[in-house]
């Protein structure tokens, strides 16, 4: 049973700072957003599995002129986003349905800390749909938590398993590389970075 939603509802007006503090224990989303911006410009951005809008908000700051779309299957998509709602939109949608009606629409697509919540047998279809959503020459960033034998991984597992209630499964860095290259081709990974504060945070920067 997930305990996160009940606890966050109890926090009331302290929910946003508490959520930011909790998230910062595992990943520096501001650092990730800045690294993405240094890597590539973009006028149209899609974040898949954006949740309540934490990374989307940081992307809107480093891409002040871009139009950004955040999608998720949760009805609470974008709930905590604080920013320009005229150029940042949210939808309760899947990438498969979105790209069916809007192929080749985005300069940049991101997936952050989503893959370990998605059953492995669905990973290839998800990434294939990412490719369909990108414009020719578009860029894709996949950030996830790498499976490692350290204390940080144990804490992350307990957090993901019991706060979200999901049945999570993590990949190794080699497994991610093999998966990504099977979809986007050999040599498609331009950069591979570790995002603070833990080396478990691995990000792949892919040019299509």
Domain ranges of the chain: 4-207
The DSSP bridge pattern shows strands 67-72 and 106-112 to be: unpaired
- CA 8-11-13 angle, 5° bins: 115
As a whole number, the mean pLDDT across the chain is: 92
Q: What is the pLDDT of residues 173-190, one digit of tens each?
A: 999 999 999 999 999 999
Q: What is the pLDDT of residues 93-131, one digit of tens each?
A: 999 999 999 999 999 999 999 999 999 999 999 999 999
- pLDDT score recorded for residue 173: 97
Closest by CA to 33, choosing from 64, 17, 55, is 55
- pLDDT score recorded for residue 161: 81
The residues of the chain scoring below 50 in pLDDT are 1, 3-4, 7
- pLDDT score recorded for residue 5: 54
Residue 102 DSSP symbol: S
CATH 3.40.50.150 fits 4-207, yes or no: yes
Query: Which positions ≥6 away from 126 have C-beta within 8 Å?
Result: 48, 95, 96, 111, 115, 118
- pLDDT score recorded for residue 7: 47
Q: Where are the beta strands (DSSP E) in 36-152?
A: 44-48, 67-72, 88-92, 106-112, 134-145
């Amino acid at each position: 049973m997930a305990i996160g939603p009940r606890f966050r509802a109890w926090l009331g007006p302290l929910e946003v700072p508490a959520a930011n503090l909790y998230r910062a224990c595992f990943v520096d989303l501001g650092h990730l957003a800045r690294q993405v911006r240094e890597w590539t410009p973009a006028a149209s951005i899609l974040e898949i599995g954006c949740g309540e809008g934490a990374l989307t908000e940081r992307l809107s700051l480093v891409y002040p002129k871009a139009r950004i779309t955040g999608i998720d299957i949760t009805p609470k998509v974008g709930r905590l986003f604080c920013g320009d709602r005229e150029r940042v939109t949210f939808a309760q949608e899947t990438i498969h349905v979105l790209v069916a009606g809007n192929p080749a629409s985005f300069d940049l697509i991101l997936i952050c800390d989503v893959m370990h919540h998605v059953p492995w047998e669905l990973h290839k279809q998800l990434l294939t749909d990412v490719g369909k959503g990108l414009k020719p020459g578009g860029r894709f960033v996949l950030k996830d938590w790498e499976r490692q034998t350290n204390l940080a991984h144990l804490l992350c597992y307990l957090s993901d398993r019991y706060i979200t209630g999901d049945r999570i499964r993590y990949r190794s860095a080699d497994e991610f590389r093999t998966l990504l290259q099977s979809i986007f081709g050999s040599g498609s990974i331009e950069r591979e970075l570790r995002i603070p504060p833990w080396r478990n945070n691995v990000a792949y920067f892919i040019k299509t």
